[in-house]
Structure 1
Amino acid sequence: MYLLGYDNNNHHKILSFSIVDSNIKDIEVYCFSSDTWRVLDVGPMYCNLYSKIFVSLKGNTYFCSPDHASEEKNGLFCFDFTTERFGPLLPLPPPFHSGYYKVTDIISSNEKLVLLHNAYVCEKVEIWITTKIEPNLVLWNKFWTLDWYFIKGLFPDDYWLYFDCRSWFIDEEKKVVVFFDITPKTCFFQMAYIIGEDGYFRSVNLGAAPYPEWVYHNIEYYIYVPSLVQVQV
């Protein structure tokens, strides 16, 4: 895998590594300024392949993974492109169901990390936002809670059974969440669902999926904000 970041001097770098037996190994870094690859003397890092969560924020890369010592303890790791080292295991928000913290997703928004905790066990969705985020420190604040019974009342037929919020973003000012998915109906429509406070709900049909087999895949939505940092090559 390859991840792009930059250090405190705005020098862009590429982190290269392989994942073998759920461990990050063969770690190298490429520096644009010197046009060189270097092998990093960094020990293997445990990484849960099923999470597939790698988020870039303020030049660094964060990823969610269980603690190597205890897979029941999930946390957040950071690769600091300035020190070229992995930081300590950072805490995630407390799970709202004892012993269950398996379905999570993390995105970046306005220089913050936003975490979605989705547990079918107790039929609830929570969204948390960082109030402070550094390679060695993270503080969380709850942004939003959604009860699955509310979702059941919004979506037609049995669609809520298939609802899988893996592509989404938030509007922190308007306090709404936008989810993207494909309906498992005959036409396989690509949909955007806007959910807010006080029961606000709106669905937007983005058109039929070009291929029926797309229903088995998630819509991938990305927010691109032009960076003020210019890459020197």
Structure 2
Amino acid sequence: MFTIKVIFFDTETNGLNCRFCRIIELAMFTVVDGEVVEEYDKFVNVGKPLDPKITRITGITNRDLTERGVSEEEIAYDLKKRLTENTVMIAHNCQFDLTFVYFLLKRHFPDEADEIVRKLDWIDTVTILKDRKDYPHKLIDAVEHYDIEKVNFHRAIDDTRALYQVTLAMKNERNDLGEYRNVFGYNPKYGVGGKFPFIEYKPQPYHNCGCLPEERILPRKGLNQRMR
């Protein structure tokens, strides 16, 4: 029997540049065949103090990292163990989280990192949300749009729980999430930095009043008929 494994994941980081900044919290909410099997949440001791701005945004303190944080090496091994072939990885603004996960793995498994991320399927819920509702498109906007119970945003584990509920609501709204596997939308005004060869990048312009069906990242063949 084919097993469906989905990991809803989120990272909190000490900056925006994936090459030089680090993950300071990683959360993974794992569902196998529709059943929640693990809630993973760990702080990462990156060995240097946080900018106060990061603490204001995330609520994560230097004390959290020094007293409760584990090594980046431990996080890398945890990821490698869980990112098994055919796993579906779902994140809100997945390109951001994927790049940080990739560079973390690259530091610790330089010969394996590319294969680890390539053998997975990646779904970006921002791309889906932009196809379905007007601006804005943050996770909190998705939570409000789908009437999900409010959570403590900008803490990774709470974000993954909210993301799970949002994804279920999206699936119930229109069951086409599988068509978004490895398809990331991007704003053509800004382009995409650090493209992955296994991801198909499609321009997804800003829309303040929703987009017409023919302007969506999807439809692919047959979607227009299903929406009628």
TM-score by length of 2: 0.27
Structure with greater helix share of residues: 2
Q: Which has the larger radius of gyration?
A: 1
Structure with greater strand share of residues: 1
TM-score by length of 1: 0.27
Higher RCO, Cα 8 Å, sep 6+: 2
